[in-house]
Every structure is written in C-alpha cells, then in structure tokens.
Structure 1
Amino acid sequence: MLGPMRLGAFDLVVAGAGIVGLAHAAEGLRRGLRVAVVERDAFARGASVRNFGHGCVTGQAGEALGYAKVARERWLELGRLAGFYAEPTGTVVAARSAEELAVLREFAAAGVAPVEVLDADGVRARVPVRAKALVGGAFLPWDVRVNPREAVGAIARWLAAEGVTFFWRTAALEAAPGVLRTARGELAAPAIVLATGHDLDRLYPEIAERAEVRRCVLQMLRVAAPLAPGGLAVERFGPGVLTGLSLLRYAGFADCPSLPALRARFEAERPDLLAVDMNLMFTQLPDGDLLIGDTHERAVTHHPFHDERVDDLLLAETADLLGVPVAELAVRERWRGCYATAPDREFLVESPLAGVRVVAVTTGIGMTTCHGLAAQVVADLCA
C-alpha cells in the first residue's frame, strides 16, 4: 500500500486561513521562513469576514492591549502592501446617559490611552449621530478600521505573491511532531500552528473541553446608510461608533467606578438588550452601507434558526442612535457570525506536541489583536 502523499517541506505550516492564521503566516514571512497555509474552504468565510473590521485598540487591557498596539501598526502596514482599506480612523463612543458619560470620563482620567471626552455637539461634529438622548461621548484615536469584506482575501493574495504556499479546499486532519496530515497528504515542518478558531474541537476536543470553548453566534446586518439632510447623499462616518453597551463589554473599561451603576441602569431599563447580550455598534463600508450589530449567544452546537426579533431590536436601537425612523434603514444583508469563546480568558495558546501550537482568540477581539498575538506565538515557536 502506498504511503501518504508528501506535499512539501516548510519551516512553518499554518492550518486556517482566517485572520489569525494569516497573521501567523505573515509573521513567518517577516522572519524569512518558508510558509504554507492549509484551508479547508476555497476562501475565508468565517469570523474574519463576518465582523465590523473594527480594531478596538483603546478598549483593551493587559496582554490584549499589548497585542492590539502591535496589530494596529501591522494592519496599517498590510493595508499599504496588500492594497486594502485600512485607516487610523479612531472611534467615537456615543453616550446616551449620565452613567455612560461618567464611565468615559473616568476612563480618560485613568490615562491608559489617549481619550478625548466630547459634549453632545462634539460627538455630532465627528459622526452624524442625532439621538435625542445624546449627552456626550468620547473619541478614541488609537482605533483603526479595515474593510472586512476585502482585507482577508487581499492579505492571502499578497502572501501568495510573496511566496507563501496555499493549499485551499484542504482539511487539516492531524498534527504530529514535524508533520501536518491533511486530506490531500502530508506537510513537513518543524513548526505548526493550528488556527482553526471555533472548530478547535474538531482537532483537539480534549483541549476545547478543558478550556470550555464554545461557539459564540452573533446576529448582524448590513443596512443602507440614511440620507443626509436634503436627501442628496448618504451620511458619511469616518470613525467607528460604539455605545454604552460597548462599555460593558471591553476589558479596558472594567475598572471604571461608574461601570456598576451603568450596568444597573441597563438591568432596570433595558433588560431586553442584556438578554441578547447586545453590543450596539456600527462601522461603514467604503460604499456607504453600515455594518450594524451585534448580539451574542453561546453554545457548543447552535440551532440553525435566525431570530427576527433580535434583528428588530438591533434595527430599533440603531435607528434611535442615528435619530432616524427604522423604515429608513433598508436591510441589504443578514448573517450570523461565529467565533470561539471561553470563560475567563481572551486567548488560548496550547502546545499539545513538540513544535505544535494550538492558537485561538476566545473573545470577539480577533481582528483587534491577531497580529500581536501571532508575533508572540511565532517568536516563541521559531526561536
């Protein structure tokens, strides 16, 4: 009987062509390594293209903040090299209550990151948000935006042009010291990174179970941007837009003294938003459409059904924030995002075998931190 086909020998092999996998491939290329990427699909179609394209650098803390700072520079560099939209637009946080504004003032006073506290007019001067309840907000200049619909594909094409070998429509089956076994044959390499995201349990169920990895499913929408006053052009947003619900989510705000009061206000006034774990935010695609969302539901395996009531909540909250009728938000696309999540951790990096790393971002900050995380993993693995 013939043995498995040998597909080639490399210095670094990466399983997964989502942004975490591609970030590791880019780091390998940066170090002058011979790199191969294995991807089960014909193109990336998971979490890396279903998100906001929002690099929320400022909202991170600890290890994640360090990774995010590195990733910010990598995104801007790769945007130039690979030819996709990547800009240091910053983010505006729109505050619609005194508690939200208090958290932002406390965060600014802590001095961990540059923050410009804004009054209501200052928010409106930066983004066309016309919520009646708007009381102020903040501008976060460190944050970046990319177009998630094009960035991952553009990076893959650029990596291929620079000499990285891609094996598309090729499932990774098993890693062993010095070899990755795939559906098409074996790849030899002293360093192997498995960046399969929420499908970690397909390769290493024991690691996924020990870390309590679940699949976090998000409901998101693409809507036509409302027209500017006069109706001759769409509203334009440079920065991404976050809200008070975002302050409950990102670790950078966790130590603000007013955060418990903010959470208590949502619990008393809007338990429906907390019930679907909403993080109300949006970014704008280059064509003007808005990516809005999102909500969160966690399970090992999800039912396939899309809840229209959740989309209705997202549309109503977005309309309120923008100060427009819901009917003006014409929905162009609806989808469910999915990423790995685990309690009490943001990153999962394990070494089940010599020369093998299992790598996953276990919160929704993969785009924000991927390049910094990859730099650390590759430096350790290929030292």
Structure 2
Amino acid sequence: MRVTIVGGGIVGTAHAYEAVRRGHQVIHIEREREARGATVRNFGLVWVSGRTELELDATLRSRELWERIGAEVPGVGFRPAGSLTLLRSGAEVAVAEEAVARPDAERRGFTLLEPDEARRVNPALQGKFVAALHCSTDAAVESRVALPAIRAHLAATGRYTFESGTEARSVEGTTVRDDRGGVHHGDLVLLCAGAAHGGLVREIAGELPVRRVRLQMMQTAPWEHQLTTAIADGDSFRYYPGFAGSALDQLQRSESQQEVAENHRMQLLCVQRLDGGLTIGDTHEYAEPFGFDVQEDPYAYLVNVVEEFLGQPLPPVHRRWAGVYSQSVDPTALVCRVNPAEGVWVITGPGGRGMTLGPVVGEQTADLIGL
C-alpha cells in the first residue's frame, strides 16, 4: 500500500516504522523542518511503572518494540536502565509497599529497597531518602535524536520519503495536498498531528475527546557522575494512576505536596542523557490559554529536590523549555483513534506517554487497519 502520514513526531514516526516494516510505501509529511513538539520536549523515558492494569500489556509490549528498534537503530540510544522512585516519608513507603504486593508487581519489575540497596543499584544517590521503589523494566531513549535515526533507517529501505517543512492542507479521499503544491495519492492517510487539534484535524474529524497539557522541563550541563537509573520522587505516585489504592488515598489525605509543587502539579522525573546532562521535570498545566513564558519557582524547587537525593550540587542548568502534549480524556483508551472517512485515520492523545507507547500504538493501528 501507499501510506501518507501527516505529523513527524513519535506517533507519526512509529506508524511510519510499522508500515515500512510490513512492506508498504510511506510518504511522511512534517510541517516543521524537524519535529518540535512533545516528542523532543520530553525525558525519553519508556515508563512502565505507574501504568494502570489496563495499560500494562501494551506498555510492556511497547518496551519490547523499543528494544527491537534499539537493536536495529543504535542511534535511538535505547538503554534498559530501570528507575528508582525515591521516598521521603512513611506514607510514601506505604504506597510502594502496596504496589509491590500486587499480583502484577513481578511483571513490572517492582522491588522495594532500603537506602543502601538503592545505592548499590545507583551509587550516585548519596543524599537523603528513606526507601526506594525499583522498577527494573523502565528504560530510556534519546528523545532529541531518536526520530532522525529512525527516519534514516527507514529511508535506507527505499520505501520511505520524509518531506519536512511541508504542511498538509487538505485531504480529499485518500489524496493529501500540501502547501508546496504537492499532491500525494495513496491508499491510506494517517493524521498524527500531536497537540494540533484544530485546522486540518478539526476539519476532518471534528471535535475530539482530547485536551492539551503544558509542562516545563530543564537540562543541566554534563555531570561528571553516572546516574545508572532514572529517578523519580514520591510525588510521582500522585500523577500515575497505576498507584491508585488505599495507601495513596491515605497519602493524599495525610500529606500535602510542598506549596510550589502543589501549585504547579509537580513531580520529579530525572534521566541522564548520553552526553551526561540531566533532563529534569516536570509540571502540569491544564487550563488554556497557556502562558507563553516559563516560571522560575518550579525550576528552583526541582533543583533542590534532585540535590537532596544526590547529596551534592547539580551542574549548571543550560536549557529550560516548555512543551504541550495531547491527552485523551478517555481513561480506557491509550490514544484517541478515529476513522472519519474511508481510508483516513486520526491518531492523537497519548497524554504524556507518547515516547513510551509510540511503537505499540503504531503496531495496534496497523493491526486494526490490516496493514
């Protein structure tokens, strides 16, 4: 088949990868010169911990696919580093204890560790915490370079063309017209436009059950030490529905987040890039219109939290940014996937899980359509 994919982020690229892998021809259109949205403004985490039971099979399958892609395309920087969620109170430890007692804990790779055990897993953690939830199945990729590496791999097949700086303007049947005068005839059109819910997406599919979420993040200069796992703090329990239960309910009742963390709906996530820099975040903002500027107090708060866990100062922060992602409001769906016309599909709304779930979403779409 001839497949036209609109949107060069992780979801669009994952669909392109799956279509080419199955023997099809792909024209891939991206309005920017390079993907600029949530795909490159994230941690690069393949995050199994905290996923709901409904999501778990798909998430573990996506991790398998990332590992396969990483073997085929070393440039994506896949590494099975795992994660440690560092806990600072008895109430947080109780949430972790409840998680490791669940029937699916072994599949997730959950183990509750004392501080000395956590430091054997990640010796860089020389600061203060009372326990750590280890998730051995979590992994990471290099979000800023993964997509160009995958595209180069696809182009080598001779069945993939990437047209950047090209905006799709209309879809008539399964023919896409772009703003450069290009006409792309095909058998199938996949619109993977990320957080762009208006314009062509709205024209074709109407109002979708999705919302946009804004976040702030930062990255340090290279750090001289190795952070062998990703790290999170106990506030992350509040934002991952897989930790829901009586212990989390008790935590929510008995312990408030610090004021700045509560105001910005914050959790700590931190992963070391291959160049040694630490990517650190994040915040959650749901009410539009979003601010066009970034606020300093969340950054200062996160630096303090990371330094408390590491027991030493961070290297200088040399990048700060904000991003917006698309989130399905249906808690039972991995993404919002609609078929508004024959041969046309719109796929959006992974909701901060795009890097984790991209490969499995592409696989599921291909299976659904019968590619």
- Normalised by the length of structure 2, the TM-score is 0.91
Once the two structures are superposed, what CA deviation does each residue of 1:286-337 show, in whole Å capped at 9, x if it has no partner?
Answer: 1211000011112444231111122222222222222234xx4411111112
- Partner SS for 1:298: coil
1:39 maps to 30
- Partner SS for 2:23: coil
Shift in Å at residue 59 of structure 1? 2.3
**CA distance change for structure 1 residues 297 and 60 in 2, over 3 Å: closer, same or farther?**
same
Shift in Å at residue 108 of structure 1? 1.1
- Distance in 1 (alpha carbons) for counterparts of 2:14 and 2:299: 32
Q: How does 1:205-284 map to 2 (within 5 A)?
A: 205=202, 207=205, 209-211=207-209, 213-224=210-221, 234-254=224-244, 256-267=245-256, 270-284=258-272
Structure 1 contact 18–46 (Cα < 8 Å) conserved? yes
Tell which deviates more after alignment, 279-288 or 333-342: 333-342
1:193 maps to 190
- Distance in 1 (alpha carbons) for counterparts of 2:311 and 2:250: 25
The structure 1 residue matched to 2:175, chosen from 170, 174, 179, is 179
2:356 maps to 368
Shift in Å at residue 259 of structure 1? 0.5
Q: How does 1:283-298 map to 2 (within 5 A)?
A: 283-298=271-286
Shift in Å at residue 63 of structure 1? 4.3
- Distance in 2 (alpha carbons) for counterparts of 1:330 and 1:204: 41
- Distance in 2 (alpha carbons) for counterparts of 1:43 and 1:146: 18
1:86 maps to 78
- Partner SS for 2:184: strand
Structure 1 contact 222–332 (Cα < 8 Å) conserved? yes
Residue identity matched to 2:320: R
Shift in Å at residue 358 of structure 1? 0.7
Once the two structures are superposed, what CA deviation does each residue of 1:254-273 show, in whole Å capped at 9, x if it has no partner?
Answer: 2x320012223442x52431
Structure 1 contact 17–37 (Cα < 8 Å) conserved? yes
- Partner SS for 2:97: helix
1:4 maps to none
Structure 1 contact 214–299 (Cα < 8 Å) conserved? no
Shift in Å at residue 368 of structure 1? 0.7
- Partner SS for 1:37: strand
- Distance in 2 (alpha carbons) for counterparts of 1:380 and 1:135: 46
- Partner SS for 1:378: helix
1:13 maps to 4
Shift in Å at residue 73 of structure 1? 1.6
- Distance in 1 (alpha carbons) for counterparts of 2:222 and 2:22: 42
Matched, 1:315 2:303: yes
1:165 maps to 161
**CA distance change for structure 1 residues 86 and 110 in 2, over 3 Å: closer, same or farther?**
same
Once superposed, what is the RMSD of the aligned Cα atoms?
Answer: 1.9
Once the two structures are superposed, what CA deviation does each residue of 1:325-368 show, in whole Å capped at 9, x if it has no partner?
Answer: 4xx44111111122112434341111111111111134111111
**CA distance change for structure 1 residues 344 and 99 in 2, over 3 Å: closer, same or farther?**
farther
Residue identity matched to 2:352: G
- Distance in 2 (alpha carbons) for counterparts of 1:12 and 1:382: 13
- Distance in 2 (alpha carbons) for counterparts of 1:13 and 1:62: 33
**CA distance change for structure 1 residues 16 and 221 in 2, over 3 Å: closer, same or farther?**
same
- Partner SS for 1:260: helix
Structure 1 contact 39–167 (Cα < 8 Å) conserved? yes
Residue identity matched to 1:93: T
- Distance in 1 (alpha carbons) for counterparts of 2:88 and 2:270: 16
- Partner SS for 1:199: coil
Segments of 4+ in structure 1 off by > 4 A? none
2:139 maps to 144
Once the two structures are superposed, what CA deviation does each residue of 1:200-259 show, in whole Å capped at 9, x if it has no partner?
Answer: 222233757441x33212111111365xxxxxxx221121111111111122212x3200
- Partner SS for 1:358: strand
Q: How does 1:101-116 map to 2 (within 5 A)?
A: 101-112=93-104, 113-116=108-111
Structure 1 contact 191–381 (Cα < 8 Å) conserved? no
The structure 1 residue matched to 2:15, chosen from 24, 36, 48, is 24
Give the gaps of 5 or more residues in structure 1.
1-9, 227-233
Residue identity matched to 2:370: C
1:73 maps to 64
Q: How many residues align?
A: 361
Once the two structures are superposed, what CA deviation does each residue of 1:134-159 show, in whole Å capped at 9, x if it has no partner?
Answer: 11112111111111121111111111
Structure 1 contact 64–369 (Cα < 8 Å) conserved? no
Once the two structures are superposed, what CA deviation does each residue of 1:149-197 show, in whole Å capped at 9, x if it has no partner?
Answer: 2111111111112221111111012223221222132211221110010
Give the gaps of 5 or more residues in structure 2.
none
- Partner SS for 2:31: coil
Shift in Å at residue 131 of structure 1? 3.3
- Distance in 2 (alpha carbons) for counterparts of 1:264 and 1:119: 25
- Partner SS for 1:174: strand
- Partner SS for 2:293: coil
Shift in Å at residue 376 of structure 1? 0.8
Structure 2 contact 260–298 (Cα < 8 Å) conserved? no
